A and B are shown apart, each in its own frame.
Chain A
C-alpha cells in the first residue's frame, strides 16, 4: 500500500477563539515510519548527482517536504 507522508487533523475550535481558527492542520509522517528494517536491493536513483541532491540513495526513503503554504492546512 502506498503511504501518505502528510497527515491532517482537525483541532478543537472554540466559539471564543480570538484568532481565525486553523480548521485543518498537517503533520509529517515520513517514509522511514513505514519501512521497518530496510530490505536489501531497494531501487536506487539513476545518478549519484540525483542521490546527493535528494540526500538519500533510495527513492523509498525520500520525503518531499513542502513549505507551509503548500501543505494543505486550511483556516
Chain B
C-alpha cells in the first residue's frame, strides 16, 4: 500500500500562459515513454523478478507516480484558464472537443495510452534492460520538450525530471549488474 503526501516532489511553477506547451507535455503524461507507462511498467514487473531488485522497482515505480503528478500540474496550469479560442490556436481543438480542459492519457499526437507501450517479459535480464531503455527514452523526451519551451521556470522543473531519469537509469544498470553477477559461485581473486 501507499501513503500519500499532499505536495509535489519538486515545485512546479509556470510563468507564461502557453497552452501549446501543454500539447507537448502531454507526451510525458500518456505517451509511450511517459511517466504513466514507467510507473505501471515497474510496479507490474516487481512480482516476477529476483528479490534483490524488487525493492528498486517498487521505489522507482512509486517515484514515477510523483513525476506523473508534476506533469499533470504543469498541463493543468497551462490550460486551466485558456479560452476555447486560445486552445484552438495552440492546436488543442481536437482535445477540447473531446475533453474540455480535462487531462487525458494520450500522447501529443492524440493517441490514447495503451498497455502495448509497456512489457513484462518475465525474463529478468529482458525486463531490466527494457527499464534502462525506457529511462533513456524518457530523458531524451524531456530534452526535446526543454528545447521547444521558452519558460525558464517550467524548464527548471523539467530539468529536475530529466535528472531523475539519469539516476533511475544508473540504478537499473546496477540492478542488471546484480542479476548478471556470479552469486552462486565461489569467486577467486
Contacts and interface: CB of A to CB of B under 8 A. Distances in A.
Q: Are A and B co-members of a single complex?
A: yes
Interface of A: 1, 3-4, 7-12, 25, 27-29, 33-34
A58 B35 CA distance: 41
Nearest to B187: A1
Contact of A28 (B52, B125, B188): B125
Contacts of B185: 4
Contacts of A11: 50-51
B182 A3 contact: yes
B187 A27 contact: no
A34 B185 CA distance: 15
Contacts of A33: 125, 180
Contacts of B124: 27
Contact of A27 (B51, B123, B182, B188): B123
B179 interface: yes
B184 interface: yes
A10 B184 CA distance: 12
The 4 A-B residue pairs whose C-beta atoms are closest, nearest first, are: A9-B50, A27-B124, A33-B180, A29-B180
Most buried by B among A4, A9, A10, A11: A9
Contacts of A7: 179, 183-184
Nearest to B53: A9
Interface in B138-189: 179-180, 182-185, 187-188
A27 B184 contact: no
15 contacts: A1-B182, A1-B187, A4-B182, A4-B185, A7-B183, A8-B184, A9-B50, A11-B51, A12-B51, A27-B124, A27-B125, A27-B179, A28-B125, A29-B179, A33-B180
Contacts of A27: 50, 123-125, 179
Interface in B12-52: 50-52
A12 B51 CA distance: 7
A4 B185 CA distance: 9
Nearest to B47: A11
Given A3-B182, A8-B184, A9-B51, 20 more contacts: A4-B182, A4-B185, A7-B183, A7-B184, A9-B50, A9-B52, A11-B50, A11-B51, A12-B51, A27-B50, A27-B123, A27-B124, A27-B125, A28-B125, A29-B125, A29-B179, A29-B180, A33-B125, A33-B180, A34-B180
A37 B52 CA distance: 28
